[in-house]
């Protein structure tokens, strides 16, 4: 197994033993910190994943965004090309389960939003370094998307997902900020 895959496996094991009370507690703390963040406050259009437990909960963040009048755009995977496109949702009923049990926007009910119209992009991952490098789920979807994206980036993570190091490859694009349940790491 490659070193990246070994770390992915170990992190999935660490996430699997996070209890529901701590999952909720940490997710709430992360969301609460986010709501004071300048990039969050300024952004009118956010690109954000629909979390699947045990990823940091994004449902509460999406509700908060709608309440604050922000536009919420969420990813749809194109597995053939391993690319992403983002589509605007105004309610959770515009999602369907398509790929790996992930919830994605329903094409007929949503409109695509271009990368240049997204002001703050939440980039998911399994593990991060303090330098903002990210170990994703192994598809390289966000590395590809980020080559065409110039807006702000941000990742949400439980404290134990920020680790010392892992192999970084030429195509890996770092995020600008990581918010965990106990710190905000500003990269640039
Ligand atoms: N911009 C890109 N163009 C083409 N292939 C890419 C690009 N970014 C990543 N990839 C490919 O995607 C695969 C997964 O990338 P990796 O960084 O290991 O996954 P992840 O970022 O999801 O952890 C690698 O084989 C990598 O070569
Ligand atoms: Mg990568």
Centre of ligand 2 from the C-alpha of residue 134, in Å: 6
What pLDDT is recorded for position 99? 72
DSSP string, 140-153: -HHHHHHTT--SEE
Tens digits of residue pLDDT in 119-155: 999 999 999 999 999 999 999 999 999 999 999 999 9
User: Is pLDDT at 188 greater than 80 in this prediction?
Assistant: no
Closest atom of ligand 1 to 126 CA is: 23
User: Is pLDDT at 100 greater than 80 in this prediction?
Assistant: no
Centre of ligand 2 from the C-alpha of residue 147, in Å: 12
Of the two residues 100 and 180, the one the predictor is more confident about is: 180
* Cβ(140) – ligand 1 distance below 6 Å: yes
Tens digits of residue pLDDT in 68-91: 999 999 999 999 999 999 999 999
Closest atom of ligand 1 to 136 CA is: 23
Half-sphere exposure for 111 (CA within 13 Å, toward CB): 5
User: Is pLDDT at 24 greater than 90 in this prediction?
Assistant: yes
Centre of ligand 2 from the C-alpha of residue 140, in Å: 5
Structural domains of the chain ordered from first start: 3-186 (3.40.50.10420)
pTM for the full model?
Answer: 0.97
Rounded Cα distance, 117 and 129, in Å: 28
Mean pLDDT over the full length of the chain = 97
Which residue's CA is the closest to the ligand 1 atom numbered 25?
Answer: 140
């Amino acid at each position: 197994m490659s070193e990246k895959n070994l770390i992915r496996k170990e992190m999935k094991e660490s996430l699997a033993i996070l209890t529901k009370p701590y999952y909720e507690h940490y997710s709430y703390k992360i969301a609460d910190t986010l709501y004071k963040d300048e990039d969050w406050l300024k952004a009118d259009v956010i690109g954000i994943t629909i979390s699947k437990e045990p990823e940091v909960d994004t449902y509460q963040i999406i509700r908060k965004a709608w309440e604050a009048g922000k536009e919420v755009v969420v990813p749809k995977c194109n597995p053939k090309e391993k690319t992403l496109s983002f589509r605007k949702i105004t309610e959770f009923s515009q999602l369907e389960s398509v790929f790996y049990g992930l919830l994605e926007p329903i094409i007929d009910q949503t409109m695509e939003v271009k990368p240049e119209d997204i002001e703050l992009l939440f980039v998911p991952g399994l593990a991060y370094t303090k330098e903002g490098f990210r170990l994703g789920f192994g598809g390289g979807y966000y590395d590809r998307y980020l080559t065409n994206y110039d807006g702000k980036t941000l990742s949400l993570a439980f404290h134990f997902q920020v680790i010392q190091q892992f192999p970084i490859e030429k195509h890996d694009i770092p995020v600008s900020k990581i918010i965990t349940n106990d710190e905000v790491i500003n990269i640039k």
